A and B are shown apart, each in its own frame.
Chain A
Amino acid sequence: MSDKIRVSIDPDLEDLIPGFLNNRRQDVVQIRALLQAGDYAKIRLLGHSMKGAGGGYGFDPITDYGDEIEEAALKQDAATIEAFVSRLEDYLARVEPVFV
């Protein structure tokens, strides 16, 4: 599963995209650490932010994963959170923005 995922992005956002994707990579690390600490409230907030911003930047899957992570955090469902964090991690590794 190493194929690149090409995503068309608004050229006006070109300067912002590297920072946005980098922040999501940090979210992956942070959510795993928060899972260890059992801090579901904080995980929920991170999922909520992802859900809100992902689609706006043009990355719909980030919104979807954020939604799942937020919901799972509400239920304190660690397995689901880990599953979607892994999917997010994979997506971030493969996504390739194309500014058109």
Chain B
Amino acid sequence: MTTDSPGLPAQDDPVGAVLLVDDDPDMLKLMSAWLRGAGFSIQTAGSGSDALSKIAISRPDIVVTDLFMEGMDGMALLKEIHAGNPLLPVIMLSGQAQIPDAVQATHLGTSAFLTKPIAKERLIAEVSAQVSAVLDRKRRHGTFGAGIVFRSGIMQELLEQAEMVAQSDITVFISGETGTGKEVLARAIHDASPRAAHAFIGVNCGAIPEQLLESELFGHEKGAFTGANNRHEGLFMAANDGTMFLDEIGDMPLGLQVKMLRVLQDLQVRPVGATRSVAVNTRIISATHNKLEELVRDGEFREDLYYRLNVVPLHMPGLAERREDIPLLLEYFLGLHATRHNARRKRFDAEALEYLIAAGWPGNVRQLANTVELCATLTKGGVIAVAMAQRALREKPGRIQPLKDARDAFERRYLISVMRVANGNVATAARIAGRNRTEFYKLLGIHGIEVASFRSDATPDEPE
């Protein structure tokens, strides 16, 4: 591993941050000298695994990697990189100049394929072109989702993907737990799309009874049903030329799913009681906190509709997956509270901050917003103490366990599972676990697991 520069996070570095990956130190030095001379910020990695660690920490704008490396080769690295961030450009270098490599690399999404020995001008030109595109996107990104507060890599990647899909009419499906801000993301996509001047209409499919939902979405003719005294246009028509956000789509009744399919397939809606369909031009963004695949498997959601909706899946991470954003979000909501109530801006003390960063947040950003509101309202002075934060969260928060506790809990659960599979036979269990019998007995002893309890129907208690 070689580190030639601190490798600032990409968003702080307008010249572009390049990660060079090669197991030949002389190649790393050569490319570093060239690219640093051209004004880029350089980080280097001597192996694929080293590169993955660096990418996770410093988020370069581009990766230049050798194909032929010991251990993880360039192609495997490319797959790993794009599994985490499909937008990160990767330039592949090969000393072998084999056409199949180039073809495969292209299929896997390399931005360029250069053959060694590489020419200085060619490398600089390729890196400059790719970095320039990335920086352009980041500059534009300054306006995309301006109201979304984050600094985590996971959110940055999500917003970059969302911004890219915003420009097209492609159908987007947003998954994520309740309270993560799926509608905020949907609105950001709409605002950055060519439809921004038209309506954005959000509907919670789980909150409206089936009969009403049908008429709300598709409209109805006068007299279509009892109480339909007037013709109703329906939300799809109201969102014509704009965007329709269907939240909790997993709760949509099966009967309506057929009608939804028609909207997506034929771009037509038929109001309740109407004999003819009407053309609509509405972009659909749907979302759910449910696992839609499971609903499909259970026959509660149409598979054909699932595939129609899930063209571009975006996942809104839970707050626990983006804890580095919590201090920023707390600041944001404290500022909002102060503005809304025309009051002095309050702050959390260090202990409260630490407590809130480590809290479980099952209700995600929505819960955090409510917590801040409550704390700020009930605190008389300017500083919010940990006791208030604890009181505001009310339910016992799921704290992050220390590593040792988490590891111990996992080990105990694992041992119990293996013993169950082995029907209490320690020799078999030890073999499954890849340990010798003595070691395995020792582990059982450490966790106080009684072998005898697996030899009858009795089983030990599950760990907390």
**Residues of A with Cβ closer than 8 Å to B?**
10, 12-13, 16, 19-20, 23, 45, 48-49, 51-57, 60, 63
Contacts and interface: CB of A to CB of B under 8 A. Distances in A.
B70 A23 contact: no
Contacts of B93: 52
B268 to A, nearest CB: 59
A23 B34 contact: no
A54 B95 CA distance: 11
B95 A51 contact: yes
Interface of B: 24, 26-27, 29-31, 33-34, 37, 66, 68, 70, 93, 95-96, 116-120
A56 B70 contact: no
B95 A52 contact: yes
Contacts of B31: 56
Nearest to A63: B117
B27 A52 contact: yes
A19 B2 CA distance: 16
Which 8 pairs of residues, A with B, have the shortest CB-CB distance?
A: A55-B117, A52-B116, A52-B95, A49-B24, A53-B26, A56-B117, A56-B30, A53-B27
Contacts of A12: 33-34, 37
Given A10-B120, A52-B117, A53-B26, A16 B33 contact: yes
A23 B70 CA distance: 19
B117 A48 contact: no
Contacts of B27: 49, 52-53, 56
B142 to A, nearest CB: 34
A54 B242 CA distance: 58
14 contacts: A12-B33, A19-B29, A49-B26, A49-B27, A51-B116, A52-B95, A52-B117, A53-B24, A53-B27, A53-B117, A56-B116, A56-B117, A56-B119, A60-B117
A60 B117 CA distance: 9
B30 A53 contact: yes
Nearest to A23: B26
Contacts of B24: 49, 52-53
Nearest to A16: B29
A23 B28 CA distance: 14
Contact of A51 (B30, B33, B117): B117
Contacts of A13: 30, 33
A45 B118 CA distance: 18
A20 B30 CA distance: 9
B309 to A, nearest CB: 48
A2 to B, nearest CB: 27
B22 to A, nearest CB: 8
A20 B95 contact: no
Nearest to B22: A52
A24 to B, nearest CB: 9
Given A12-B34, A12-B37, A56 B118 contact: yes
B351 to A, nearest CB: 51
A55 B116 CA distance: 8
Contacts of A20: 26, 29-30
Contacts of B96: 48
A49 B93 CA distance: 12
Contacts of A55: 116-117
A53 B93 CA distance: 12
Nearest to A60: B117
Given A10-B120, A12-B34, A12-B37, A52 B66 contact: yes
B170 to A, nearest CB: 41
A48 B95 contact: yes
A56 B95 CA distance: 12
A65 to B, nearest CB: 12
Contacts of A45: 70
Contacts of B118: 56
Contacts of B117: 51-56, 60, 63
**Most chain B CB atoms below 10 A, which of A45, A49, A51, A52:** A52
A69 to B, nearest CB: 12
A16 B70 contact: no
Given A12-B33, A16-B33, 11 more contacts: A10-B120, A13-B30, A16-B29, A20-B29, A45-B70, A48-B95, A53-B24, A53-B116, A54-B117, A56-B118, A56-B119
A48 to B, nearest CB: 5
Nearest to B123: A56
A63 B119 CA distance: 13
A51 B31 CA distance: 15
A53 B95 CA distance: 9
